[in-house]
Amino acid sequence: MTPLDSTDPLLQEQFVPSASSVLRARILNHTGLLFGLVVVGLLVLVALFAPFIAPHDPYAQDLTMRMKPPVFMGGTMEHLLGTDHLGRDYLSRLIYGARVSLLIGFIAAVISGVIGTALGVAAGYFGGRVDAVVTFLINVRLAMPVVLVALAVVAILGGSLQVVIGVLGLLLWDRFAVVMRSSTQQVRRREYVAAAQAIGASTPRVILSEIMPNIVNNLIVIVTLEMAHAILLEAALSFLGLGVQPPTPSWGLMVAEGKNMMLFEPWLVLIPGAVLFVLVLAINLMGDGLRDVTAPDNRN
Amino acid sequence: MLHFILKRLGLAILVAFTVSFISFSLMFLSGDPAAALAGETASGEDIEAIRVLYGFDRPMLVQYSEWLAGAVQGDFGESYYFKLPVAGLIGERLTVTMTLGVYAISFALLVAVPLGVIAAIRPNSLIDRFALFLSVAGQAMPSFWFGLILIVVFAIKLQWLPPSGANSFKHFIMPTIVLGYYAMPAIMRLTRAGMLDVLSSDYIRTARAKGASEMRVLFKHALRNAIIPVVSLAAVQMGFMLGGSIVVESIFALHGAGYLAWESIARNDLPTVQALILIFSMFYIVFTLIADVLNAWLDPRMRSS
């Protein structure tokens, strides 16, 4: 006597929704996550297709067209968001600036993700001395003031895109290490890990095929949050004059360049800052949303 | 307890040594500090003279131990730019940064703790949502942009506050808001989570059952327990803030240690930069040490881990 509903595929689908449909429903019900995904998606497209979207060359100067206001402040359609102090089209510089921000944020997050995950998983899996050494390294890293060290290193090595990415990548791994360490500690105690070890699976195999798949959700969340962190830091470094160098269009640099004319042309500062704020907000909402959706019981 | 403190102190000292070595090694990142110091126009002989003068020709470990021996006694060498002892330069400006740090953390606590408490008493209320919005927006707001907007509104348009300087309390208002804003989201979330946790516990139900007033339950019983982790978080945030004051100080031309760091980095004044990195790190190490010991003292369960 088997109950009907466990054999009837139709009923089963109705009462036990598949994992992917649950996930889809959760994503669609999560306003923050949807907002984040849409905004980040749009900005990634803008960055990828910058040469096709930008109305002007972001580097082309025209000193006869300096500091024209945006169209909603009495400007012309020729320069939708006006021009900067060198007569460069502001919208085009914003569009190319998305490339700089996203590129730096993404690569820096990947570099620090690799470092932090390796350290964190090793600490969580092996425990003991390995854990003590990694915990020590995390403490050392946390004690170093990020902005100060990043500024100093960029000043010494020169402010190129590669240097900024490298410095941020080498500095931002602490949260990865902390989270991956505790996630690994939790997963390591599960029966399936013991089972894999019992049937003689090698350590790399246990880590790659038993541990990693179960902590990858947390990893993705930290990647997004640290990407936002890296983008903000790049903007701050460039704003202070020790990040990406002119004439590269970086949003932080645009704010710095507009700063002196802020009194008469506040939009020079408001526009790039607002775009930066929206991008970082969207990435953060995406990260928070992904955490809610993939691990609803981890919310505080 | 003593065992815990000694262990924690040992770790702090070890971290401090490692950080000191890293901040010293920064000088050698460029390859040849003598060439960097001499500038691009210097001849080979000039560079050689500078190398001997500053002692760069000796092994790095010898230079490090000498520098460290000085640093422990408060002697960080002489600034390349000001030609004055670094310790004196920093000491003067550290007061400004410390003042800013104390104001900022006080401001953050004064706003974030009440918000967190109200959010916990009325989950999903308008205030809870507002607090959540504030914390999400706070994490995404570029500090330099926030600072510039404040300057435009309050210093230029309304002319209520001075745009820069550090002469009076008024000069500290905007920097305090910008720096304090960043500590708020974490403090608020922790207060909210702690209060929610405590309010659902048995002893609160007992207190209510005994007929204690709601105010008494909230403040005497609940907040007292929920605030413990917040206090140690505030100590850690304070350490972070001092390191992060560099951006805020540069926007408001507040001549503190952060501003000095920015100037010294731009001027390639390495002894000053090294000393500042070490000092900011030491603040963080000391604050986290205090936070951990405080935690262990108030909550014996923390001592075992």
Domains along chain A with CATH numbers:
38-294 (1.10.3720.10)
CA distances from A291 to A33, A218, A219, B115, B276 (A): 10, 7, 10, 24, 38
Residues B88 and A180: their CA atoms lie apart, in Å, by: 43
Identify the CATH class of B87-304.
mainly alpha
pLDDT in tens, B107-156: 999 999 999 888 888 878 888 888 888 888 888 889 899 999 998 888 88
Question: Of B141, B143, B148, which has the smallest distance from its Cβ to A262's Cβ?
Answer: B148
β-strand partners of B78: B85
CA angle A267, B255, A158 (to 5 degrees): 70
Q: Contacts of residue A148 in chain B, CB cutoff 8 Å?
A: 243, 246, 261, 265, 273, 276-277, 280
Beta carbons of A142 and B288 less than 8 Å apart: yes
Q: How confident is the model at residue A42 (pLDDT cuts 50, 70, 90)?
A: very high
Residues A159 and A157: their CA atoms lie apart, in Å, by: 7
Q: Which two tokens stand for residue B218?
A: 């909230």
Residues B263 and B268: their CA atoms lie apart, in Å, by: 9
ipTM of the complex: 0.86
Question: Of B15, B26, B265, which has the smallest distance from its Cβ to A143's Cβ?
Answer: B15
pLDDT in tens, A235-285: 999 999 888 888 888 999 989 888 888 888 888 889 899 999 999 999 999
Q: Contacts of residue A146 in chain B, CB cutoff 8 Å?
A: 243
Q: Domains of chain B: which residue ranges?
A: 33-73, 87-304
Phi/psi class of residue A158: alpha, beta or left (left: φ > 0; alpha: ψ in -120 to 50)? left
- The per-residue pLDDT of chain A, averaged, comes to 85
Q: How confident is the model at residue B105 (pLDDT cuts 50, 70, 90)?
A: very high
Q: How confident is the model at residue A39 (pLDDT cuts 50, 70, 90)?
A: very high
